[in-house]
Chains A and B, each alone.
Chain A
Amino acid sequence: MTRFPEDLEARLRAAAPAGIDFSAATDSHGVTSAWVALADKDELKAVGEVMARLGARLSLITGSQTPPPPEVEDEEEEEAEEGETAEAAEKPVPMTFGGTPMDGTAYEITYSFDLVGDTVTVIAYAPQGGSVESLTSLFRTADWPEREIMETYNLRIENHPDPRRLFLDKSIEPAVMERLIPFSTLTNASSTTALWEKVMESAKAKEASES
């Protein structure tokens, strides 16, 4: 028994004329989980408005990047990139529903809404360096998750009321989730160079006094 309004799919389709890919499944406890992929990310706000009118709670926003399709001949591929770009471009890149190429750099942003226990997850796709509209004006709970996405991915959130860094310091380069960070670097967050700077300074001072 789902607690969605019966015409949920129709309402979402009306809000997103470019098209949606809708699917829903109900588990043995009667809890329904629906997935709504948007063909056009610019219709996200309209879909958000439908959910807000239904009294949904925006409970989770996830930013992610689908890795590139596996490359069969890795080494040759690298060589080809230099000279034979035309040939490389011919390789078919998998497309999302709606036609965003999933080349390993595009983003998939999922918005999970709670409707009295049931879940509706809306998926928007954006190309590398692209942007999606902020939902903070509709849902207060979008504020922090959107700030977190902005600091971890090279993705812009348009019209965010407070686009400052959330957890990461300004000195840290952006898009941390898009870079390979060695484990030693990742876990070494608490150490500083303060000690070595002191040692070097005193060594310099000693050198200066001797000369």
Chain B
Amino acid sequence: MSSAVTTPGKSVGKSNYTIPVGPLHVALEEPMYFRIDVSGETVNAVEINAGHVHRGIEYLATKRSLNQNIVLTERICSLCSNSHPEAFAMAAETIAGLTVPERGQYLRVIAGEVKRLASNLFNVAILTHLVGYESMFMHIMQVRETAQDIKEGVFGNRMDLGAMCIGGVRYDLDEETIGILTAGLDKIEPEVAEIVKTFKTNGSILRRTKEIGVLAKEDAIACGVVGPVARGSGVDYDVRREAPYHVYDRMPLEVRTFDDGDVWSRAMIRLHEAQNAIAIIRSCLKELPGGAVNLGTKLDIPPGHAVAKAEAPRGELIYYLKTNDTEQPERLKWRVPTFMNWDALGLMLRNAKVADIAIIVNSIDPCISCTER
């Protein structure tokens, strides 16, 4: 558009098109519709049309009791399923002034970090698939499968752990399950170190991810992004450190940031957090105290309101709970980490190549059922 000879409304050499991506698309696991205006190979503007998997869960939550909502909130999202009942329970505990027994707090951290490990591996696996490095995709999925085995062996489920309850957790570790957990981590740890090495050196990955889908730090702050997307753009914020909960203040938590804000930085943050999750789980197992894992089932949650935050695999998850004299919450509202990422995605896709659209969309680790509820 800078050239003086360009006639308005007429393109010179290039063609302007509007291409639809989604709602159902090979690169998307869930439905979202992008209307992308391109000029030749370059993206000009993106319009996002949401609402394909809106299920009215917030409405439904007000018709169910607080305990039933533990089950309901776990089903909002599959990959951060554990973080939803976790933050919800934390809000209820704040209202009632309950303190979760120490052992329960450690077990909450373990459940959360196992989910983070599996979720982050899943996202980088999809990235290698989109890059076209299929053997690497198969390999990372196989490593992640070990994390799935841990979940199945320890919690009994591959996705929804069913670990949380108001006042603590619903599972306990014994010698056998600790054995499954440590054996799994021993297997995954060297593999993740190898994956990190590959991400640092492999030309196919570097060429498709370095300086692609850049989100500048000022834009990251303006959009209010959280989690690996924020940390990949140099925003040094992690709920586990800024607003510690459970026993995270005693954990060997490492919050890493990158300044480049590209797809590669976000992937490296996720890989590092997968490694850090292993260190945190090991530390929990080493320090795990005895005692009760929850406060029992007869808990009274008085009328009140509270806001609770937790660091889900995708970043800050925040819950608002208002209770009254009834068993049902008067209002239960949550905002998921992906919610702000859609706005940031518009900035990441600006001037991107059409071939990179799927890679950039995947780099926000999108969760659409989470966003729309």
Contacts and interface: CB of A to CB of B under 8 A. Distances in A.
B330 A67 contact: yes
Contacts of A176: 56, 59
A144 B342 CA distance: 10
28 contacts: A29-B243, A29-B244, A31-B243, A31-B244, A33-B94, A33-B306, A62-B331, A64-B333, A66-B324, A66-B330, A114-B309, A117-B241, A119-B307, A119-B309, A139-B224, A140-B343, A141-B343, A144-B339, A144-B343, A145-B335, A167-B50, A167-B54, A168-B51, A168-B54, A169-B51, A176-B56, A176-B59, A177-B59
A66 B323 CA distance: 10
A117 B239 contact: yes
Nearest to A144: B339
Interface string A122-166: 000000000000000001110111000000000000000000011
A93 interface: no
A66 B325 CA distance: 12
B224 A57 contact: yes
B303 to A, nearest CB: 11
Interface in B132-186: none
Interface stretch (B251-259, B277-285, B314-322): B314-322
Nearest to A165: B51
Given A59-B316, A166-B51, A186-B60, A140 B223 contact: yes
B194 interface: no
B245 A29 contact: yes
B99 interface: yes
A110 B59 contact: no
A67 B324 contact: yes
A103 interface: no
B320 A112 contact: yes
B54 A112 contact: no
Given A31-B243, A118-B243, A112 B224 contact: no
A171 B239 CA distance: 39
A181 B57 CA distance: 12
Nearest to A55: B221
B309 A181 contact: no
A38 interface: no
B56 A64 contact: no
B55 interface: yes
Interface of B: 50-51, 54-56, 58-60, 63, 94, 99, 221-224, 239, 241-245, 249, 305-307, 309, 316, 318, 320, 322, 324, 330-331, 333-335, 339-340, 342-343, 372
Interface of A: 27-31, 33, 35, 57-60, 62, 64, 66-67, 110, 112, 114, 116-119, 121, 139-141, 143-145, 165-169, 176-177, 181, 183, 186, 189
A180 B99 CA distance: 36
Contacts of A169: 51
A118 B244 CA distance: 10
Q: Which of B223, B307, B309, B340 has the most CB atoms of chain A within a 10 A radius of its CB?
A: B307
Contacts of B307: 33, 60, 112, 119, 121
Contacts of A62: 320, 331, 333
B318 A112 contact: yes
A189 B55 contact: yes
Contacts of B342: 144
Contacts of B55: 189
A177 B331 CA distance: 11
Nearest to B221: A57
Contacts of A145: 335
B51 A116 contact: no
B224 A141 contact: yes
Contacts of A141: 223-224, 340, 343
Given A119-B243, A167-B51, 20 more contacts: A30-B244, A60-B334, A62-B320, A64-B331, A66-B324, A110-B305, A110-B320, A117-B241, A117-B243, A118-B243, A119-B309, A141-B343, A144-B339, A167-B50, A167-B54, A167-B372, A181-B59, A183-B63, A186-B59, A189-B55
A193 to B, nearest CB: 19
Given A117-B242, A176-B59, A59 B335 contact: yes
A143 B343 contact: yes
A2 B149 CA distance: 42
Contacts of A27: 94
Contacts of A57: 221, 224
Q: Which of B58, B221, B324, B334 has the most CB atoms of chain A within a 10 A radius of its CB?
A: B58
Contacts of B305: 35, 110
A102 to B, nearest CB: 11
Given A140-B222, A181-B56, A186-B56, A60 B333 contact: yes
